Amino acid sequence: MTIADTVRAVGRWFAGGEQEPDPDPSALGTPERAMVVMAHPDDAEFVCGGTVARWCAEGSEVVYVVVTGGDKGTHDPEMHPEKLAAIREEEQRAACRALGVKECVFLGHPDGHTIDEEELRGQIVRLIRIHRPDVIVTWDAFRRGFNHRDHRNVGILTADAVYPLVRDRLYYPRDEEDGLPSHQVNEVLFAGSEDPDHTIDVTAHWETRLEAVLCHTSQIGGRTREDFLRMREEMIARQGHARMEERFRRWSIRRAPPPPREAANPQARG
């Protein structure tokens, strides 16, 4: 996420309570295991940090996958990519500690150059088979308007990984050889959607989310805790209530039907 993206995300974040919740926001429940697949350090905190904080507080094991190092996201003329990537990795680790995230995997791809390609797709498939999440959060790649290249491609790669690649064992057979069987992801929540249909109440976890956002010093343009608190008060005054929400487009994955009994157990035939 670039600095300009971050500025826009701040505005969307504080507009989060102005939408009506979906009819049954609790239907998803708290996943036992969740994975967040994002393009850059700081993406997750702005679009699903409250959800992650809530899930962690309720006992979920959450794993982050950060595809790029975010090594281009600066206007500092003295900064170079390797140094920025190291800074942003430490910022992301600090944010994960604030939220309670179990593990953060950095894939280290160059910022701004993510493409829909086999190596990265295979990395995402393997990580899903390792960590076996019930729910995945990623970017919505299917927006009508323009979307950041990295966000768009990470979203489509993750969606492709979930269905059918992770589920069907003959894709990436090396995983099975290494003891990583196929896996069924139950739900995907697409962040940054223009057509959200699922809302999660994060009011009780807003402060934790703020702590995580503040870890990304290189990306928040000098904003302080007081700035964010003031923005929140202004939003509450506009909308007339203090509810804080995060909105997603929800994809419930249909499970593959079980094989016929005869196919599953050839000895059962007469």
Query: What are 38-71's pLDDT values in tens digits?
Result: 999 999 999 999 999 999 999 999 999 999 999 9
Q: What burial class does residue 222 get, using C-beta atoms within 10 Å of its C-beta: 0-12 exposed, 13-18 middle, 19+ buried?
A: exposed
List strand residue ranges (DSSP E) for the chain, in order. Answer: 33-38, 61-68, 103-109, 135-139, 187-191, 198-201, 245-252
For the cut 60, the answer to whether the pLDDT of residue 171 exceeds it is yes
pLDDT of 30 higher than 50: yes
The reported pTM is: 0.85
Run of H or E including 175: helix 173-177
Dist. CA 215–CA 127, nearest whole Å: 25
Residue 144: the pLDDT is 84
The CATH-assigned architecture of domain 3-253 is: 3-Layer(aba) Sandwich (3.40)
**Domain locations in the chain as residue ranges:** 3-253
**Closest C-alpha among 196, 238, 203 to residue 20:** 196
Is residue 226 scored above 70 in pLDDT?
yes
pLDDT digits (tens, 9 = 90+) for 185-211: 999 999 999 999 999 999 999 999 999
pLDDT of residue 6: 53
pLDDT digits (tens, 9 = 90+) for 72-94: 999 999 999 999 999 999 999 99
